[in-house]
Amino acid sequence: MPAPLCVALIGYGVAGSAFHAPFIATIPDFRLTAIVTGSHERRTRALRDHPGVSLLESADEIWAGPDEFDLVVVAAPNKAHVPLGLAALAAGLPVVVDKPLATSAAEGRTLVDAARERGLMLTVFHNRRWDGDFLTVRRLLAEEALGRVLRFESRFECWRPEIAHGWRDQPDAGGGLLLDLGSHLVDQAIQLFGPAQAVYAELELRRPGAEVDDDDFVALEHAEGVRSHLWMSAVSGQKGPRFRVLGDRAAYKKHGLDVQEQALRAGRSPTEPGWGEEPRELWGRLGAGEELREVPTEPGSYGAFYEGVARSLREDSPPPVDPLEAIAALEVLEAARSSSQERKVVQLAQ
């Protein structure tokens, strides 16, 4: 077996510690070689989680010795994605960027252009493509179990009435739910139903002292006629269904979140037996009227993303997420912001 690919992980907050490091550290193709964080608490936690990893104070230490690494993973705040990604590419290193790829489509294109010019892999961690419930919806569509789809409803909602005052609540850091959860929701909708041709949005600042959007609704009209209704909120005292997909023969409704996130935040390892499997009581239901049946949820697998990264680096195959698809989602998010500001439907160029 070839030697593992050495990975430098930039950032050890929730994204770095819970969503990236566990897979980098457990997939045989990789070795988590270095973690960049200036926080004493996070450095202590990183050494506890990954004994023997090198701790770096600054990403500049990576660029000073790029030959020691085969891949850079950027899990820093949103505003840092583009400058860190460009620096990694300039150092001759392939890059995984946590979503969103950038805070604007134009900035995202600078990353794509830089990667193309240098012949280096660039991909985006749209891990929600490997949520079990999303994979289930995708399977039901492939089986034509709902007939012709009329409307797709998707939500990420929670009850956090108090502002946490982290970078996600700061406009200068690229915060707000539209860029955060909206990146996932729009990406999933486009993956299922193709490009959006029209966007309508309502972006609100609900909580006292809020500086960024925390209660959003985005409606998409897809080129093939399906309409997607997407919600993201920090002020939902009661959550709606995660998915409700309405077809002309049947509907699928599913509550609850993919089980992987809770397991990762609890410190569980993706190598555990039954990883990503959802208990039966959380399964969604398919049918119409009173004729409903349970639908087993597909096992979720965020590790499939990093397995795809390994194949791309070793075999020169396409990356698991095409960054151009991430830019298409950013264009929709920008149209949503314009729609909310101008109170009108925004048409997208086809």
pLDDT digits (tens, 9 = 90+) for 251-286: 999 999 999 999 999 999 999 999 999 999 999 999
Q: CA quadruple 114, 120, 125, 131: dihedral positive or negative?
A: positive
Under-70 pLDDT residues of the chain:
none
* Residues 273 and 102: beta-carbon distance below 8 Å: no
Q: What is the pLDDT of residue 120?
A: 98
User: Taking phi first (over 0 means left), then psi (-120 to 50 degrees means alpha), and beta for anything else, what does residue 226 get?
Assistant: beta
Instruction: Please identify which residue in the block is written with the tokens 């030959």.
Output: 67
Q: What is the pLDDT of residue 18?
A: 96
Q: What is the pLDDT of residue 349?
A: 82
Helical H segments across the chain, by residue range: 14, 21-26, 40-49, 60-64, 81-90, 105-118, 132-142, 177-193, 259-265, 303-315, 323-342
Based on its alpha-carbon atoms, the radius of gyration of the chain, rounded to whole angstroms, reads 20
Distance CA 194, CA 313 (A): 28
Q: What is the pLDDT of residue 350?
A: 73
Q: CA quadruple 106, 110, 111, 116: dihedral positive or negative?
A: positive
